[in-house]
Structure 1
Amino acid sequence: MSAAARSEKSGLFSLPTLLTGLGIALFGLFVAGYILQTQPGMADLGANLSFVGLNYFLFPLIGGITLRFAQVQPAPQLAAPPAAIDALRAAQATEIQKQVLTDITGRAYFKSKHMADALKRIGLSRRDDELPTLVGYREEADDGIYALVLRFESPRVSRQRWESCLPKLRTFFGRGVAVGLDFLPLPAGAAESELLVELSLKSAAEPA
């Protein structure tokens, strides 16, 4: 299953969705119990159902709503991957590359943005509001070599800062990964302080 498909499927079974659904179901149980209490011979069952629904629906409902507002959505895919990318990833990608892909295509909770902790450890910034924002990713087969490319908007971290952190970037993602930086042209009308950066994580495996 591709990363995009896993992301789409996870949306149906995400924790906020499950908790909110449970809260709504329990409230429905309360309503059903209330109605049953008016039916002959069903008063006790209805009272029990109403008690359970009324006392327990609020906790998962509030929890689900809270998580929904505290989540970071999966990063969008910038381009369709090559047809055989799953096999290439399985054969060449390091565990760190796979973990990065899993993290950015899943939902994060109670974080300012994807990869915030990693970007802080690399030294780009210590403040959440200054960190670059991951705006998308793509997977490539570069001359038979697997590569994961991450694109960031970086309005508050300069090109010079990125370049000064390049030695640490090259060690941060572990052995077997060649790290590259590419600074993209800005769209027309963009402010001079804006910066589009692509961080390439290329496998050091032999070409497929």
Structure 2
Amino acid sequence: MLRRISLALVGLVVGGVLTIVGFAAYFLNYSTLNLIGFFYGIPLLLGGLALKASELEPVPLMEPTPPAVLDLRQAQATPTQTQILKDVTRFRYGQQAHLDISLGHLGLSPTDDERPILRGVRETEVDGAYTLVLNFESLLVPFETWKTKQEKMTTFFGPNVKVKLDSPEPDRVEVALIATPEPTPEKV
């Protein structure tokens, strides 16, 4: 819940209210409220503006996650899948794009202008395994380049993750991170 609330918006609202109260108190000669407005309101307002300037909004879920897939997530999701889902579905600050460092490490982001943009995520099931699907808009990195990086992606997002790539439409690439849980040893 809290990760879906913009800290920038909180700073702007609280800072704005305190600043207005401070100015009103100044003109009405209420010195204590005046100090609160100036010493807390203005810095909060400026902090909210700074956060807003560096804010990266959460990526939307492309479709609601079915309850069966939620259960599968609880049982099979790897720490990497869980962390990616948490990171891309919350407000981020000071980043250019979601997964920008990962894309750079994988060689899929030669420059900031060529970087694929994450447009949505969805959770699904593939052959009984929990799958997190990342949908990228890839205008300048062709699908063939993504295919050459598939093995590197499997290593990068592993262990216990298999990567499957798909291009459902031109300039779109779907990266499916499929959990491959280790089989539990059978008791004798």
Alignment TM-score, normalising by the size of structure 2: 0.88
Partner of 2:160: 176
* CA radius of gyration, larger in: 1
- Match for residue 23 of structure 1 among 15, 34, 37: 15
CA drift at 1:118: 0.4
Paired with 1:101 and 1:125, the residues of 2 have a C-alpha distance of: 20
Structure 1: tracts of 5 or more residues without a match = 1-5, 38-45, 187-194
Q: State percent identity of aligned pairs.
A: 37
Paired with 1:54 and 1:60, the residues of 2 have a C-alpha distance of: 10
- Whether 1:57 and 2:41 are equivalent positions in the alignment is yes
User: Which of 169-178 and 56-65 deviates more?
Assistant: 56-65
Partner of 1:114: 98
SS at match of 1:205: coil
Paired with 2:54 and 2:47, the residues of 1 have a C-alpha distance of: 10
Structure 2: tracts of 5 or more residues without a match = 184-188
Amino acid at match of 1:26: L
Alignment TM-score, normalising by the size of structure 1: 0.80
- Match for residue 69 of structure 1 among 53, 56, 68: 53
CA drift at 1:35: 5.7
> What's the C-alpha RMSD, in Å, of the aligned pairs?
2.0
Query: Does the CA contact (< 8 Å) of 1:149 and 1:199 recur in 2?
Result: yes
Aligned pairs, how many?
A: 183
Q: How does 1:123-142 map to 2 (within 5 A)?
A: 123-142=107-126
Q: How does 1:150-165 map to 2 (within 5 A)?
A: 150-165=134-149
- Match for residue 83 of structure 1 among 48, 63, 67: 67
CA drift at 1:143: 3.3
SS at match of 2:113: helix
Query: Does the CA contact (< 8 Å) of 1:82 and 1:141 recur in 2?
Result: no
Amino acid at match of 2:18: L
